[in-house]
Structure 1
Amino acid sequence: MTNESSGIENDERGPFGRPGFIAAALIVVLIAVLGIVVGVTNVLRDDSAPESASTASVAVPATASPSTSSAAADESTGGSEGSTSTSVCGLSGEVTEQARLAKAPDVDYWDYQGTVAYPVSEQYGPGATADSGYRYCFQRSPEGAVFATANAVVQGSDESTVKAWLDYFVTGPARDQVLSAGAGSSTGSGTRVEIAGFRVLAYDGDSARIDVAVRGSASGKTINLSMVYPLVWEDGDWKLNVTDASAPIDVTTIPDLAGYITWGA
């Protein structure tokens, strides 16, 4: 691979081509997604919309297990009058037709997993936390899909919860291959990652394609990544629909955030 100041060619898909891949060198952006540590370096080595509602304060999402949340969801009322929520934890406000977002959804607060911030909303999710520690349950809406994707960027960074989270979040024909590949290491010291923006590429209520712009920095260098997640609504929540185990999500470098809706802590 040719050494570039950005650390990687713009058309390079990065380490997601090899599940469990770990990369490290001068410029390192470590992003834990699907339990795979993504390194964007100069040397690689193998190893979418209802209107947002602002809330002055919100309680921390209740802790629940997927099984108990599903039971609660059966008795919850959805966003449309007379409809029943299909959400695993009963979140209302479902949008099942094609939709896009023209602005960033409201965030009640940004919390942290390690040094990476993730958005929390009583309306959009995460609506519950499993006994094993991972967060889940996001609204069936473009906003909910965006929140689910932003949370996915950091969910794999905790080695104590990543296995259970992967088992919950990954679906699709390549699910078993991805799970058998295992997780990579957590992010290393001296690196910082932040969510910087997003685009809703597609949304129809049953599936969504969310592009999250992530900015990483290390050793005084910064790099921008585009990370496109193919989501599907399954069992009352957004899941990652993996059809190709060699590339669970589409990752590439981008020069700037042009075309993205700015969003972040």
Structure 2
Amino acid sequence: MFNKKNADSGPRVDDPRPWGMRGAGWPLFAVPVMFLVVVAMIAVFVFGRGGDDTASSEATVTVTPSAPPNTAAPSTQAPTTATSEPAPGGTCPTPKEDTVPADTVAWKTTWEIAGQAIAPLTESGPKVKQPDGVRRCFDRSPRGAVAFAANVYLGFTQSPEVARQVHLQQMTPGAHRERGLQSPGWSDTSVQFSIAGYRVLAWSPDAAQIELAVAVSSQPGQWSLVSPRIVWKDGDWKVDGTNAGPAPTVLDSLATMTRWGPGESS
């Protein structure tokens, strides 16, 4: 559906073009109307919806994502357990800083049920899980950026109470944050969201653009492609509230992604 970007000529953070993968056009067959509705719903940080609180953490499943071709064996070290904090805010533990590409080695991840989402817990973060549903404190590294982008985007799919806190605490001020705060989250608990894959389009210690394939339980075999722009601010990653990214697009293959998620399929 899309052309794969050359790793040595990928978009920069200041690339003026719309985010997301670019290349070939839509499939020749029509996309089901139901999936278009779900794609519209998933754009919570751009459009948002309201509903009841359904936050819960009841189960975990540990998986090792598929490593890209010709990469080293997966790490055997277990992910760091996130600590609980009685109230929002506070200083994060000193983040690990490195420039190791996120997709050079498959990394062990614990996938936790969090409301309507299955969210990742890794050594790179989150290192703090707050009672209000915010998952924060990530390493200042490519993997930390990926882990943050996945957790914060899934946070946007939660109940209005949780999604509001994610907007307030994990986005910088700007028009995109204000728009999301007008109607954050939604209440349709029949749909579950998770991550199926990722790609780092651009990264520096101060800013990054992460591409995520978001799986929707009602549409197996198809994903929504989102490309949040994030910045390092006040000791943690934040979504750029002035330029958070485009609305999601339909993705029908994970061929260009590093596969990462519970039960992902190509």
Q: Is the 8 A contact 2:83 2:129 kept in 1?
A: yes
Q: 1:63 aligns with which of 72, 82, 85?
A: 85
Matched, 1:235 2:234: yes
- Structure 1 letter corresponding to 2:103: A
- CA shift, 1:104, in A, is 5.8
Q: Is the 8 A contact 2:126 2:138 kept in 1?
A: yes
Q: Is the 8 A contact 1:162 1:183 kept in 2?
A: yes
Matched, 1:132 2:136: no
Q: Is the 8 A contact 2:198 2:259 kept in 1?
A: yes
- CA shift, 1:164, in A, is 1.6
Q: Is the 8 A contact 1:32 1:155 kept in 2?
A: no
Q: Is the 8 A contact 1:202 1:208 kept in 2?
A: yes
Gaps of 5+ in 2: 1-28, 50-72
Gaps of 5+ in 1: 9-23, 39-50, 71-87
What's the counterpart of residue 5 of structure 1? Answer: 30
- CA shift, 1:261, in A, is 0.3
Q: Is the 8 A contact 1:217 1:223 kept in 2?
A: no
Task: Provide closer, same or farther for how the CA distance between residues 114 and 180 of structure 1 changes in structure 2, counting only shifts above 3 A.
Answer: closer
- CA shift, 1:185, in A, is 1.6
Q: Is the 8 A contact 2:120 2:147 kept in 1?
A: yes
Matched, 1:94 2:92: no
Task: Provide closer, same or farther for how the CA distance between residues 221 and 212 of structure 1 changes in structure 2, counting only shifts above 3 A.
Answer: closer
Task: Provide closer, same or farther for how the CA distance between residues 127 and 226 of structure 1 changes in structure 2, counting only shifts above 3 A.
Answer: same
Q: Is the 8 A contact 2:78 2:108 kept in 1?
A: no
TM-score for the superposition, normalised by structure 1: 0.66
SS class of match (2:83): coil
Task: Provide closer, same or farther for how the CA distance between residues 31 and 107 of structure 1 changes in structure 2, counting only shifts above 3 A.
Answer: farther
RMSD between aligned alpha carbons?
A: 3.2
- Structure 2 letter corresponding to 1:6: V
Q: Per-residue CA shift, 1:56-115, capped at 9, x if unaligned?
A: 4754433254543x2xxxxxxxxxxxxxxxxx3323x212x5x63334652341101134
- Structure 2 letter corresponding to 1:155: G
Task: Provide closer, same or farther for how the CA distance between residues 108 and 102 of structure 1 changes in structure 2, counting only shifts above 3 A.
Answer: closer
Distance 2:204 2:168 in 1: 25
SS class of match (2:211): strand
What's the counterpart of residue 196 of structure 1? Answer: 196
TM-score for the superposition, normalised by structure 2: 0.66
Q: Is the 8 A contact 1:35 1:166 kept in 2?
A: no
Distance 2:130 2:177 in 1: 21
- CA shift, 1:217, in A, is 4.0
Task: Provide closer, same or farther for how the CA distance between residues 128 and 32 of structure 1 changes in structure 2, counting only shifts above 3 A.
Answer: farther
Larger-gyration structure (1/2): 1
- CA shift, 1:225, in A, is 1.4
Q: Per-residue CA shift, 1:105-126, capped at 9, x if unaligned?
A: 52341101134211102x2111
Matched, 1:28 2:6: no
Matched, 1:255 2:252: yes
Aligned residues: 210
- Structure 2 letter corresponding to 1:132: D
- CA shift, 1:128, in A, is 0.8
What's the counterpart of residue 85 of structure 1? Answer: none
Task: Provide closer, same or farther for how the CA distance between residues 250 and 204 of structure 1 changes in structure 2, counting only shifts above 3 A.
Answer: farther
- CA shift, 1:143, in A, is 0.4
Distance 2:105 2:42 in 1: 22
Q: Per-residue CA shift, 1:157-212, capped at 9, x if unaligned?
A: 133322122101111542553354231423342x3433110000000110000000
* Percent of paired sites with the same residue: 28
**Higher share in strand:** 1
Matched, 1:205 2:205: yes
Q: Is the 8 A contact 1:31 1:153 kept in 2?
A: no
Q: Which moved more, 1:28-37 or 1:248-257?
A: 28-37
